[in-house]
Structure 1
Amino acid sequence: MRDLELGRAAAAVLRGNWERGHTVPSRRLYPHQWSWDSAFIAIGWARTSPGRGRLELESLFAAQWADGRVPQIVFNPAVARDAYFPGPDFWRSREVPGAPHRETSGIVQPPVHAVAALAVHRASPTLGRRFLRRLYPALQAEHDYLLRERSDGHGLVTIVHPWESGQDNSPAWDAELARVDAGAEVLAGHRRRDLDHVDPTERPTAADYARYVAIVENYREHGYRDEEGAHLFRAVDPLFNALLAWSEEALAEIADIIGKPSEPHRERAAAIRDALLTRCYDPAAGHFFALDRTGARVAERCVGGFVPLVLDLPSDVVDRLVAGMTGPRFALNDRVPLPSYDLTGPAFDTTRYWRGPAWINTSWLVMRGLQRHGRHDEAATLRAAMLHAVRQEGFREYFDPATGAGRGVSDFSWSAALTLDLLAPGSPPAPTPPRRLTGAPN
């Protein structure tokens, strides 16, 4: 399929998944609005319909909680209440003071929304400036919530559910999940709708799902307040924190555009980056690792450990990260995107998602980081791999890291959206900082 045909097919997927002001990730499996999906989708809409990109983000932030959190899921009231599990009757957001009128989940996802807002603005600067003025306070409140309520006390923010990482059943969360006491009875009375659409070998196990449910139930009993005893799971995710810092950079650019102070955002971005280097980066391994609730590094190499490349990093760190992704553990090539987990790791699985399969969004993030640091050959290789995957298999949710075979659902929105971005002429990194960040290491 030629680029023009591929672009038309990608745009058709987004149009087919458009639902009254937002885009569903998949008509079959994900019939509501997902938070970080909408950020990637808005980046795709910016390439073909900036107006829909603006609506995508505005509809998501219309469901922002009073404390600033942007929910992982915004439920569509036109969809059957049991069409997805866990659905609105499980989360019970209507019972929580400060929750929006729209029913939502009570957890968050990686905060890449300011990056998306900036991309939408660049696609239509005149209308986009008014859009940025409207969205800026909500984006700032999102970051403030995370830095205030989710601080680990050492410069980084925590996630309180594996789903918040976006990398749901990554091996990085196994040890922390094992602390959660949950038997099969936790799932009694619930029906996992994902298994209606996708082979069970590609989805989290029943044991993991029971733990996911138990974590939410405990948080829900605390009214989704980030207080003592509310969290059965706590971890620091390098991907989540890198995207928070990257979005702080984007907020700095947005602030410059709309005439707001920008330096505080640059300072916050630099502080998060420095904490990532100090606490998550292992110089001997050349990789950024997740941290467990005690602050100890989790010895599992995951694709999220490359995502800090979107930030301003010392050249020796960049060199070590590139060596890791081109070596046998991640085997960068031009046929299949980066695997989600170490190909040689003990928990590697070619089919179960986030335990090996390759995703377009994480490879796109790593590619942006490579471009930022002038590693254009590796970035071009990764771009070729993503485009080859969707040409051969369509806009699948994820791909077999060995064969490239499509896995999960078809017509997946962020795979289509980021393909549109990959195909755009001269597609630059977003955001593009005008200068070196305050406090950057030498």
Structure 2
Amino acid sequence: MKSLLDRPVPTAAASLTLRRGAARVLIDNWTGASTVPSRTLYPHQWSWDSAFIAIGLRHLSVRRAQQELESLLAGQWADGRIPHILFNPALPHGAYFPSPDFWRSSQAGRASGAPAAPETSGIVQPPVHALAALLVHRADAGESRRRGFLARVYPRLAAWHDYLLTRRDLGGGGLAAVVHPWEPGMDNSPCWDVPLQRVTPAPADAFRRADLDHGHPADRPTDLDYGRYVRLAADYREAGYDDREARHGFAVEDPGFNALLIVSELALAAMAEDLGTAGEPHTARAAELTRRLVGRLWDAEAGLFRVRDLGSDTLIDERSVSGLIPLVVPHLPADVVDRLRETLDGPHFSAPATRLVPSYDLTGHAFAGTRYWRGPAWFNTAWLIHRGLRTHGHHQEAARLRQGFLAEAGESEFAEYVDPTTGAARGARHFSWTAALTLDLLSADPEETTP
């Protein structure tokens, strides 16, 4: 019997069909100003989704890719943060929870610089935006210069990074901390279980989960975890979303989040040079962040980066795909790159039914093949790891990952994620970042690497 992994390289005709299907997803999910991740489960604009979407849109319409990012930056706060959701005012509050009337950003966040409109959430997501902006610019530099795209977005993205490296250096070690499990983008990863035990959940009757209207409970976070998410968000809101005043019940340093900050600092350096200013401060900051990432989060024995729990100032003993994402950082020590490759190909992350990378250790005590970030393999993390492999010259491994990605994206109808033990599509279908990153792998220069 042929393995699910033994998929042929797509023919030219198959690639064209896949490209058309991916383009159709992005067209259907376009709202007129931005792209929703999914018409059902995620009906607003999400932060890191839009960055990945822009990376794919640049192959269809550079102008629309620019608009995707500019729409997101319209919700940036005066303190520099880019919120993880910009709410569509045309939708009823019941379309998603937590809704605008829960976050109350324009009132509760006023002292922290929240805009009067649009309404947003108060937390953030991984800083992949500068990388996206640079790739969009390079897709048509002439058009970008004519429209002043870089000149508009560069100062906003620099302010975003400044926010993360000042107000979010909660551990004093020079890395950005996240203060809610939704901020690293891997909402219910087992990496959060230990620090979340210190959080008293909100009562079950204090909220209604809209996600269960569109997702199976077996795939979604538990009610207990959701109660803790609500408690953390409500406490942050009551502190005015002020990181200097809030008593964070949850605070960790996540390796994937900080790796993307490093990559985006290098992107800012390239953007600054294109604008005729010095990129060296960003390059120096990326180098220092790389040293801090390795010094604070690298676990040589485990062969991957760990999450640091700032509540106990210890590394969390769980293996997550977040610990492999630093492959995307260009100037990692060679021995770290070698160990990451070994871990990627080893029993913890080498899945039986997909070339995508499981979100959590296949042998781990908390592994669940269908439950959101507790095992399923996602397309955006595979794209990042593919980029990391190419960045470090491992083109054969990158090509295998690309081949699996493209085959599974098409077969799954551009699913949100897949079960790594069966290969079955899970979550939403016609998911925007899956379609966008499919377009990128079909279209991007194979020599393009991290700045």
Counterparts of 2:254 and 2:425 in 1: how far apart (Å)? 27
| TM-score normalised by structure 1 residue count | 0.95
The C-alpha deviation readout for 1:116-143, integer Å capped at 9, x for no partner, is: 0011111111122320111000000000
> Which residue, out of 73, 94, 106, partners 1:61?
73
Residue aligning to 2:165: 147
Residue aligning to 2:60: 48
Counterparts of 1:50 and 1:107 in 2: how far apart (Å)? 28
Q: How does 1:304-383 map to 2 (within 5 A)?
A: 304-311=322-329, 312-331=331-350, 335-383=354-402
| TM-score normalised by structure 2 residue count | 0.93
Check the 8 A contact 1:333/1:381 in 2, yes or no: no
Residue aligning to 2:136: 120
Check the 8 A contact 1:42/1:120 in 2, yes or no: yes
The answer as to 2:174 corresponding to 1:162 is: no
Check the 8 A contact 1:334/1:384 in 2, yes or no: no
Residue aligning to 2:288: 271
The C-alpha deviation readout for 1:84-138, integer Å capped at 9, x for no partner, is: 0000000001202121121000000000000000111111111223201110000
Code of the aligned partner of 1:348: F
Counterparts of 1:149 and 1:223 in 2: how far apart (Å)? 14
Counterparts of 2:345 and 2:355 in 1: how far apart (Å)? 13
The C-alpha deviation readout for 1:135-181, integer Å capped at 9, x for no partner, is: 00000000000011001211211000000000000011110011101
Q: 1:240 to 1:343 in 2, by over 3 A?
A: same
Q: Displaced runs of 4+ in structure 1, greater than 6 A?
A: none
Give the unaligned 5+ runs of structure 1.
Answer: 433-442
Residue aligning to 2:406: 387
The answer as to 2:149 corresponding to 1:135 is: no
Residue aligning to 2:7: none
Q: How many residues end up aligned between the 2 structures?
A: 430
Q: Single out whichever of 281-290 and 55-64 deviates more from structure 2.
A: 281-290
The C-alpha deviation readout for 1:309-363, integer Å capped at 9, x for no partner, is: 1111111111110000101111167943100001001110011010000000001
Code of the aligned partner of 1:121: H
The answer as to 2:237 corresponding to 1:220 is: yes
> Which residue, out of 417, 422, 429, partners 1:398?
417
Give the unaligned 5+ runs of structure 2.
Answer: 1-9
The answer as to 2:247 corresponding to 1:230 is: yes
How far the C-alpha of 1:390 sits from its partner, in A, is 1.1
Counterparts of 2:161 and 2:35 in 1: how far apart (Å)? 23
Residue aligning to 1:437: none
SS of 2:372's partner is coil
Counterparts of 2:322 and 2:296 in 1: how far apart (Å)? 15
How far the C-alpha of 1:384 sits from its partner, in A, is 1.4
Counterparts of 1:103 and 1:431 in 2: how far apart (Å)? 33
Q: Single out whichever of 211-220 and 293-302 deviates more from structure 2.
A: 293-302
Q: 1:154 to 1:189 in 2, by over 3 A?
A: closer
Check the 8 A contact 2:251/2:309 in 1, yes or no: yes
Residue aligning to 1:81: 93
Q: How does 1:153-232 map to 2 (within 5 A)?
A: 153-182=172-201, 185=203, 187-232=204-249
Counterparts of 1:49 and 1:333 in 2: how far apart (Å)? 37
Residue aligning to 2:114: 99
> Which residue, out of 274, 299, 317, partners 2:317?
299
Code of the aligned partner of 2:122: G
Counterparts of 2:139 and 2:295 in 1: how far apart (Å)? 36
Check the 8 A contact 1:182/1:214 in 2, yes or no: yes
Counterparts of 1:313 and 1:189 in 2: how far apart (Å)? 46
Code of the aligned partner of 2:254: D
Identical aligned pairs, as a percentage?
A: 55
The C-alpha deviation readout for 1:183-223, integer Å capped at 9, x for no partner, is: 5x2x3142211101111000000000000000011101100
